[in-house]
Amino acid sequence: MNAIRDQRFFESAAAPRRRVLFVINSLAGGGAERVMATLLANANEWLSRHEIALAVLDDGPRAFALPEWLATFQFDCGGGMLASIAALNRVVRDFDPDVTLSFLTRANLANGAVMMKRRRPWIISERTSTPAHLGSRAKQLATRVIMRLIYPRATRVIAVSSGVADKLQRGFGVSASRIDVLPNPVDIDALHASVCEQDDPQIDEPYVVAVGRLVSVKNYAMLIEAFAQAKLRCRLIIAGDGPERDALKSLAAKLDVGDRVVMPGWLTNPYPVLARASVFALSSNVEGFPNALVEALALGVPVVATNCHDGPAEILARSSVNEVSGVTVTDAGVLTPVGDAPSYAEALRLAFDGKRRKDMIVAGRLRAADYSAASITRRYWAVIERVLERTAERQTS
């Protein structure tokens, strides 16, 4: 045993662990933040080969727990780009990573600005196909210009869907040879454990549920209109918060469904509510990769989703499809045209059909298994280690 242990010591001394730095804007509630936390929570397998750290650019409440072993660099950049670059530069100087991996546009741009100067490999992960979330039109335009300058120079670019990958090529000049398409992971075991935590509001069943920020791109106004037109004997739960809350409440009242549209705000743990839903509704105009849609499938909840760019069809339409009453019915859910309230109303009615519901539940659980946290985490680390290996080969050649 001693000889084996000594040999391992000399091997580790000859090949020290390489340093990997993850970067994100914050750990506030959101899809990208949840994915980052999930990847890190499942990274134990790689600790023997790598030192892993996380840089969080903005200070604030954390919606997601991090592993105890993780070294974390916390900053308070207040959403500022220059402050983010300066903060990340300090982390890179102190931690000296062999490779970085960032999520979200500002973190990606800061990552590129710092690592290009250091001449070290850097990976970015783009979660959506548009910078519409970045504020004013002028800011969006400026950000697009900077993205076109920096993104094509990344060592690798991870896109969460084929649609996002296509936008990166056509809109930002990223070569297809640099892009890896990796969907978001879903920790199915943790998901089912969360369902058992009863800290959620008690809501009478049956109901349709939607989860997300109350912003225009989610198009909850269309969802409320479709719900009113469907005339289902149930409630509509929209779990989330945002600037459109008052307008959506007013619309529900105007359409005479105000007493059946429940808006409980942001739920720390939305999964008990999601698991008891009759249907999960996604009404977005644009998506990168809709985490909540896969979570709904994993929990056995049929899905009705707009066929928007860039994720729902890639998830749902892998199975057989049929056209029914102007909407696309797949094994695991129903797809409708974007912004079409009458079609969405018909899709809601179809999803409540008894026989179809049972088939969707079975197919949805099978489809969700393709996105397990263990499987997707391995794919992320395959990209990271491939970059490190190719960098080492160039340095020794």
Q: For 209, which DSSP code?
A: E
Q: Has residue 4 got a pLDDT over 70?
A: no
Q: What is the pLDDT of residues 99-109, one digit of tens each?
A: 999 999 999 99
Domain spans of the chain, in order of start: 16-185+372-390, 188-370
Residue 49, pLDDT > 70, answer: yes
CA-closest candidate to residue 320, choices 369, 363, 366: 363
pLDDT at 263: 96
Residue 259 has pLDDT above 90, yes or no: yes
**pLDDT above 70 covers what percent of the chain?**
91
Strands (E), 37-147: 50-56, 71-74, 99-103, 122-126
Tokens of 377: 């985490």
Which is more confident, 135 or 376? 376
Neighbours of 217 (CB within 10 A): 16
Work out the number of other CB atoms within 10 angstroms of the CB of residue 213: 18
Please name every residue paired with 333 in a beta bridge, in sequence order, or none if there are none: 303
CA distances from residue 311 to 30, 146, 181, 386, 392 in whole angstroms, order as listed: 16, 25, 12, 26, 35
When pLDDT is averaged across residues 256-279 and rounded to a whole number, the result is: 93
Q: Is residue 321 a contact partner of residue 330, using CB atoms and an 8 Å limit?
A: yes
Is 11 a residue whose pLDDT tops 50?
no
Domains 16-185+372-390 and 188-370 share a fold: yes
CA atoms within 13 A on the CB side of 36: 34
Fold of 16-185+372-390: Rossmann fold (3.40.50)
Note the pLDDT of residue 374. Answer: 92
Q: In Å, how far are 191, 208, 230, 318, 336 from 363, measured between CA atoms?
A: 18, 19, 25, 11, 19
pLDDT tens for residues 269-279? 899 999 999 99
Of 302, 305, 258, nearest to 277 by C-alpha is 302
Strands 18-24 and 99-103: parallel
Mean of per-residue pLDDT scores for the chain: 89
* DSSP label of 185: P
Q: What is the mean pLDDT of residues 15-35?
A: 89
pLDDT tens digits for range 196-222: 876 566 777 899 999 999 999 999 999
Residue pLDDT, tens place only, 344-373? 999 999 999 888 888 999 999 999 998 999
Quick check: 143 pLDDT over 50?
yes
Of 279, 264, 286, 283, whose CA–CA distance to 225 is shortest? Answer: 283
Model confidence at 6: pLDDT above 60: no
What is the structure's pLDDT at 201?
Answer: 66
Class of domain 188-370: alpha beta
The pLDDT of residue 278: 95
Which of left, alpha, beta for 293 (phi over 0: left; psi -120 to 50: alpha)? Answer: alpha
Q: What are phi and psi of 228, to 5 degrees?
A: -65, -40
Look up residue 397 and give its two tokens: 């050649």
The answer, yes or no, to whether residue 291 has pLDDT greater than 70, is yes
| pLDDT at position 105 | 92
Total-model pTM: 0.78
* Alpha-carbon distances of 333 from 262, 305, 337, 375, rounded to whole Å: 23, 8, 14, 23
